[in-house]
């Protein structure tokens, strides 16, 4: 930190941190009371230290950001708490790659780089605890967190001042109204009535797209990029957004493995490629329990063959529309026009869906979308994949393979095959001799 340091102290018999300024070693007000509140609340010693450390970094950011505001000729008079807090969390997710000149300079001075999502959650929890303590002791002798720098301390919350009888009436008559006004403690929210409507019901019908249709459609694809996309979706059952956001480092050609990564865990990688903040924020991620993709045949072999051809073909652009070297690592890019070289995930998704639909219309399959490949994959792995125990891995194991946290999500993809069910029923009728006239018809 540039403006503060952590000093060891003991509060209520627990080793903690105090925050002091580097110049003059002046203690920041309110930190001891925050330590005491967290300890009395049962938080672990390591958690208390982590939260105080997060507070120190936040205060360090506040001082440096205001300094940069003055450096660039802006006034700090109109800067409020919400604005500073918003810029702080932007610095955690963007770092020095921000389009805000003041924020970028602040991050450069503090040597701040983008952090992972779970680290941001730690900062959020820490500051929430600190603000709650500051709010509780707002009218007490313990002053708010602030510095003797000529600036008034920030108001962490704006609470409506109510009289005692008004608070009592709100607590006894309307928890919801009290919560909206900000006069009722947050724990009373749990006493609000809850209405359970049941979970959403999904109709799991027949598959709209089967493996035979995919095998018939692949030879009709002339573009190697599109062949790679279709075979990869069919082999790995991933979402279309996950497929289009793949980087070259995610595909291991030696071990023949594909990995899916959360974009929010590698923000610095994208910014170093030259992506804007808007582009990075547009990257999607629904969550996945395991990063490695389980690939099935024959589509896996087809993908690796097409991928090797794709990397050395004209379908894999090296220069963009302006003749500049493409600096990003995205595997699938746009190939024509002004947007040549732009990652395909930033293109028009509607065009991708239309081309996919037209492709399968050529083999007699209508009303399909790229996500139907995922449905086909899950149904095959759950019911037809050859295993030592027989056919199919079942919903429980398939849920882990496709990365679902909840097996109920996988059950939605477990479609039935009408022709197969009819064949099994007819075979059963033959074996038991039941209703022979049905078979003759």
According to DSSP, residue 387 is labeled E
pLDDT, residue 187, reads 43
pLDDT in tens, 261-286: 998 888 889 988 888 877 888 888 88
Instruction: Spell out the residues 6+ positions from residue 163 whose beta carbon is closer than 8 angstroms to its own.
Output: none
- pLDDT tops 90 at residue 142: no
pLDDT in tens, 168-201: 655 555 545 555 544 444 444 444 443 333 444 4
- The pLDDT confidence band at residue 74, using thresholds 50, 70 and 90, is confident
- pLDDT tops 80 at residue 160: no
* Backbone CA torsion sign across 111, 328, 276, 230: negative
- pLDDT tops 70 at residue 297: yes
Burial of 269 (0-12, 13-18, 19+ CB in 10 A): middle
pLDDT in tens, 11-68: 877 888 888 888 888 888 788 888 888 888 888 888 888 999 999 999 999 888 888 8
> Distance (Å, rounded) from C-alpha 308 to C-alpha 233?
17
- pLDDT tops 90 at residue 322: no
Mean pLDDT of the chain: 77
- pLDDT tops 70 at residue 339: yes
Percentage of the chain beyond pLDDT 70 is 75
* Contact (CB, 8 A) for 296 and 233: no
Region at 390 (left for phi over 0; alpha for psi -120 to 50; beta for the rest): left
Domains along the sequence of the chain with CATH:
4-136 (no CATH), 160-193 (no CATH), 211-411 (1.10.443)
């Amino acid at each position: 930190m540039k403006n503060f340091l952590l000093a060891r102290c003991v509060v209520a018999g627990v080793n903690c941190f105090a925050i002091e300024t580097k110049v003059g070693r002046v203690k920041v007000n309110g930190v001891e009371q925050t330590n005491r509140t967290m300890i009395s609340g049962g938080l672990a010693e390591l958690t208390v230290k982590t939260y105080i450390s997060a507070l120190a970094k936040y205060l360090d950011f506040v001082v440096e950001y205001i300094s940069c505001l003055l450096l660039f000729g802006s006034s700090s008079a109109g800067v409020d708490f919400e604005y500073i807090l918003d810029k702080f969390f932007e610095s955690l997710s963007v770092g020095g790659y921000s389009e805000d000149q003041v924020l970028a300079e602040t991050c450069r001075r503090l040597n701040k780089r983008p952090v992972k999502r779970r680290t941001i959650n730690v900062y959020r929890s820490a500051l929430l605890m600190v603000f709650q303590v500051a709010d509780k002791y707002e009218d007490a002798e313990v002053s708010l967190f602030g510095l003797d720098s000529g600036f008034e301390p920030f108001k962490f919350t704006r609470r409506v001042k109510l009289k005692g009888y008004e608070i009592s009436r709100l607590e006894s008559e309307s928890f919801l109204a009290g919560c909206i006004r900000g006069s009722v403690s947050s724990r009373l929210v749990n006493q609000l009535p809850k209405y359970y409507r049941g979970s959403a019901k999904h109709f799991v019908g027949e598959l709209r797209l089967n493996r035979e249709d995919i095998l018939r459609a692949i030879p009709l694809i002339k573009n190697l990029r599109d062949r790679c996309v279709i075979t990869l979706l069919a082999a790995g059952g991933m979402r279309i957004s996950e497929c289009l956001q793949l980087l070259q480092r995610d595909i291991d050609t030696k071990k023949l493995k594909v990995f899916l990564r959360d974009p929010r865990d590698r923000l610095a990688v994208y910014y170093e490629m030259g992506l804007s903040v808007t582009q990075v924020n547009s990257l999607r991620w629904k969550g996945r329990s395991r990063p490695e993709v389980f690939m099935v045949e024959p589509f896996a072999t087809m993908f690796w063959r097409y991928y090797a051809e794709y990397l050395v073909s004209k379908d894999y652009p090296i220069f963009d529309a302006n003749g500049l070297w493409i600096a990003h690592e995205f595997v699938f890019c746009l190939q024509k026009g002004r947007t040549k070289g732009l990652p395909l995930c930033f293109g028009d998704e509607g065009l991708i869906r239309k081309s996919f639909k037209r492709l399968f219309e050529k083999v007699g399959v209508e009303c399909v979308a790229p996500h139907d490949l995922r449905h086909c994959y899950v149904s095959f792995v759950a019911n037809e994949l050859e295993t030592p125990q027989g056919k199919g891995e079942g919903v429980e194991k398939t849920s882990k393979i496709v990365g679902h946290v909840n097996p109920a999500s996988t059950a939605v993809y477990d479609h039935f095959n009408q022709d197969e069910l009819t064949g099994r029923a007819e075979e059963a009728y033959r074996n038991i001799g039941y209703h022979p006239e049905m078979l003759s018809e």
